[in-house]
Structure 1
Amino acid sequence: MESQSALTAKPAPDSTAGGETPRQKTTKNRKGKGKAPPRPPVKGQSRAKAKQRATRLAARAKEQAAQKETKPAAKPAPKSPPKPTPKQALKPDSKAPHKDPIYAPARQARAKKRHWLLLWSFLLCVLIPAGLSGVYLWERAVDQYKSSLGFTVRREEAPSAVDILGGLTNLSSASSSDSDILFEFIQSQELVEKVHARMDLQSVYSRYYDQDPLFSLAPDSAIEDLLAYWQRMVQISYAPGTGLIELKVLAFTPEEARAIAQMIFEESSKMINTLSAIAREDAMRYAREELDQAVEQLKVARQSLTAFRSRTQIVDPSADIQLQMGLLTTLQQQLGSELINYDLLVTNTQANDPRLQQTEQRISALRARIRQEREKFGGGGVAADGDNYATLVAEFERLSVDREFAEQKYAGALQNYDAAQAEAQRQSRYLAAYLNPTLAQSAEYPRRVLIFGLVCLFLLISWATLALIYYSLRDRR
């Protein structure tokens, strides 16, 4: 050992001087015959002994290689090469033959406790519930029969002869659709109560409760429970674009399913007729109110005109004015004749002639009368009841216009009312069935295969989720 350490301490010869580096010597020794090949394992030995033997042989081969590297180093090198880093020392030579590393043999897999727990959880969480659900569906679930029904709401839009009814028609069309109202009515508690009053739904749907509690109604259920069960047994589909409504009514006998579907159709038809009656009554009510207002307005106008005639004692101010104008014309003619006579007397008689005085008196009287008659048409005179003709004519014209307007309005309102009454005699909305209630011959519900598949799927998903959660928590420890 001392000689080996002494030889190791001497500097190695330089590669330029004909010497060899330790790495080249190691590569040469690996290529030479000094390397001891590993022996094959003896028959009968175990794998562990073979592994130990291979390890000992490899260590012995490394020691022999190290001894051969230190012996030929005789001449010192001028410079000692830098010591290789651990990575360079561990890096194998590219010229050396590559050999596969020897790994320890894998142990034989054995079932552990967690594997058995996972298997038992799959049995308890998936297989047993799925089996119980299958037994219930095929052994205890009662057959259900389907009755199909399809209908739509038809509306007759008759052209209206009056504007008010046309406005009402547009208002009705702009409101919510009758099919939407009917869709909500079929799922409402009101319809359930009406059908329940005609046919005891609680006894029909709770008949097989002892045998099939999952698909049956409890005997002592309230109206809210009956409504929830009704929405399960009456499946409704509605297309808003076309307005078609299709129903699938389920019951435990085909006759009961068809009877319930027929009752639904009858009650829906009554509801639509009620809506039509309300719309017609609204239209008639508006027309009737307008007619009453027109009648009242016409009465007031005629009463005002009658009161004016009673107060002024003038039936028609226009005719009275014509009479006054005729009287004024006559007075003016007489005044003109008297003026002519007066001029003749002045030229032919003396100044103290009594005929001149009489003529002058007649002229003065005619002029005073003409002035009074003219004042009746102006603001200073009084014609009747302290008013002049201008005021009387203005009041009479106002009352005449009010009466004419009231008469026209009454005529239009009466026409509207007659048209609304004629429209009320027609049914503008009605329920048209394009598919009458059918009578089933075989049971289609409950859909056992679909329900069983969904139960198995959800059980498997739930079990797999819980198992993944368990293993994720276990790996975190």
Structure 2
Amino acid sequence: MEIAPVARPARMQLRHWLVILSFLLVVATPTAVASVYLYGEAVDQYASRVGFTVRREEGGSGLEILGGLTELSGSSSTDTDILYEFIQSQELVAKVDAALDLERIYQKPEGDPVFTLKENATIEDKVDYWRRMVRVFYDPGTGLIEVETRAFAPEDAQAIAQKIFELSSDMINELSAVAASDLTRYARDELDQAAQRLKDARLAVTRFRNEQQIVDPQADIQGQMGLLSSLQAQLAAALIEMDIISSSAQDGDPRLAQSRRRIEVIQNRIADERRKLGVVGSGEGSTAYADLIGQFESLQVDREFAEQSYLSALSAYDAAVAEARRKSRYLAAYVRPTLAESAEYPRRATLLAVIALGLFGAWCMAVLIAYSLRDRR
């Protein structure tokens, strides 16, 4: 049986030296450079946190308040969604920059090209840098928003967090004002139209009274009917008196002529009064008074309808104003802007570990690929 020769001692080959060299160039050297930078050049960053949510006041009526039924509703998801986007928007960055001067705050450390804001930065550069230094955490389920701001001084981080809270509160107040305006605008337009309609109806009634010289046609017609009733009673009395005289007087008695004359005058007066009321007769004046009554009643109906419409519109407007006040929004802070006592960033050990693991993983993949290509030859 042939015995295999003893294996020769392993010796370093060229490929082994290349692997070691690549490890030093790809992994060890960049990790060492990153370590020197993080622990020697990177400036400490302080964090400030503020937490808030949008609340909507749902106060009830006066009876509900006395009965203790008033409550505060939860946050509106739509409002918090808007606020979440607003905090990361260019508009907010521009407002904070105008108030606090972001270049002054974020260009303080010298010789730190990674974590500082570059000189002569445009608004787009500031927005990109803002999203690195300001983190927004939002829970759609609860509507809670927490903002973490970083700066190279704890006072600057707190000032930025406070300004974000103030601008967010202004944004919510503006949304509340717009909602209240939209809610009451239509009701106000309806109230103005109803008020103008009532004014026109009252002016029409006043114009009718001035033209016809009649304050109340109903009262006037009652007076006319009273006069007609009185004339009819007088006619009945005159006819009775004539019958009495006729039973005892001779023909040619002047009392008979006087009675007939009295009866004729009363009948003519009754006919005239009836023509005024439009009861009998023909011609232009026969129905004039009835037409006046019809016109006045039509104007009265228009005025009463206008009054009812005005009262209804006024009630709707008052209800809309009350609803707008009842559904006011406001920003409630559950964490006030904090002032840091120690630096939390940059997290040097974490960053260094991530850089080293990332480089080592990339180096391993490259070595494996190289060996697989070599073995296929």
* TM-score (normalizing by structure 1): 0.62
CA contact 1:146–1:443 (8 Å) conserved in 2: yes
Aligned equivalent of 1:329, options 229, 233, 246: 229
Matched ranges for 1:189-228 at <5 A: 189-208=90-109, 210-228=110-128
1:443 shift after superposition: 1.4
Give the unaligned 5+ runs of structure 2: 63-72
> For this pair of structures, how many residues does the alignment match?
367
Kindly indicate whether residue 52 of structure 2 is the aligned counterpart of residue 151 of structure 1: yes
Give the unaligned 5+ runs of structure 1: 1-39, 49-104, 162-171
Shift in CA distance, 464/423, structure 1 to aligned 2, threshold 3 Å? same
- Measured in 2, the distance between the counterparts of 1:455 and 1:214 equals 15
Output the amino acid matched with 2:171.
Answer: M
Identify the residue that residue 41 of structure 2 maps to in structure 1: 140
Identify the structure with bigger relative contact order (alpha carbons < 8 Å, sequence gap 6+).
2
* TM-score (normalizing by structure 2): 0.76
Identify the residue that residue 304 of structure 1 maps to in structure 2: 204
Identify the residue that residue 439 of structure 1 maps to in structure 2: 339
- Measured in 1, the distance between the counterparts of 2:193 and 2:160 equals 49
1:328 shift after superposition: 1.6
Shift in CA distance, 431/383, structure 1 to aligned 2, threshold 3 Å? farther
Secondary structure of residue in 1 paired with 2:169: helix
CA contact 2:158–2:338 (8 Å) conserved in 1: yes
- Measured in 2, the distance between the counterparts of 1:386 and 1:234 equals 91
Shift in CA distance, 213/475, structure 1 to aligned 2, threshold 3 Å? same
CA contact 1:376–1:383 (8 Å) conserved in 2: no
Secondary structure of residue in 2 paired with 1:400: helix
Q: Which has the larger radius of gyration?
A: 1
- Measured in 2, the distance between the counterparts of 1:204 and 1:342 equals 120
Deviations for 1:439-473, whole angstroms, at most 9, x for unmatched residues?
Answer: 22221111122222222333334344445555666
Kindly indicate whether residue 22 of structure 2 is the aligned counterpart of residue 127 of structure 1: no
What is the identity percentage for the equivalent residue pairs of Structure 1 and Structure 2? Answer: 55
CA contact 2:277–2:287 (8 Å) conserved in 1: no
Identify the residue that residue 460 of structure 1 maps to in structure 2: 360
Output the amino acid matched with 1:451.
Answer: L
CA contact 2:55–2:76 (8 Å) conserved in 1: no
- Measured in 1, the distance between the counterparts of 2:107 and 2:171 equals 28
- Measured in 1, the distance between the counterparts of 2:282 and 2:138 equals 81
Secondary structure of residue in 1 paired with 2:34: helix
Deviations for 1:232-254, whole angstroms, at most 9, x for unmatched residues?
Answer: 11112122333332222111122
Shift in CA distance, 174/300, structure 1 to aligned 2, threshold 3 Å? farther
CA contact 1:381–1:388 (8 Å) conserved in 2: no
Output the amino acid matched with 2:98.
Answer: A
CA contact 2:76–2:143 (8 Å) conserved in 1: no
Matched ranges for 1:317-466 at <5 A: 317-343=217-243, 363=263, 366-378=266-278, 388-407=288-307, 410=310, 428-466=328-366
Identify the residue that residue 70 of structure 2 maps to in structure 1: none
- The worse-fitting range, judged by mean Cα deviation, of 397-406 and 173-182 is 173-182
Shift in CA distance, 254/372, structure 1 to aligned 2, threshold 3 Å? same
Output the amino acid matched with 2:85.
Answer: E
CA contact 1:276–1:429 (8 Å) conserved in 2: yes
- The worse-fitting range, judged by mean Cα deviation, of 127-136 and 295-304 is 127-136
CA contact 1:254–1:441 (8 Å) conserved in 2: yes
Identify the residue that residue 65 of structure 2 maps to in structure 1: none
1:120 shift after superposition: 4.4
- Measured in 2, the distance between the counterparts of 1:259 and 1:319 equals 78
CA contact 2:48–2:150 (8 Å) conserved in 1: yes
- CA-based RMSD of the aligned residues comes to 4.3
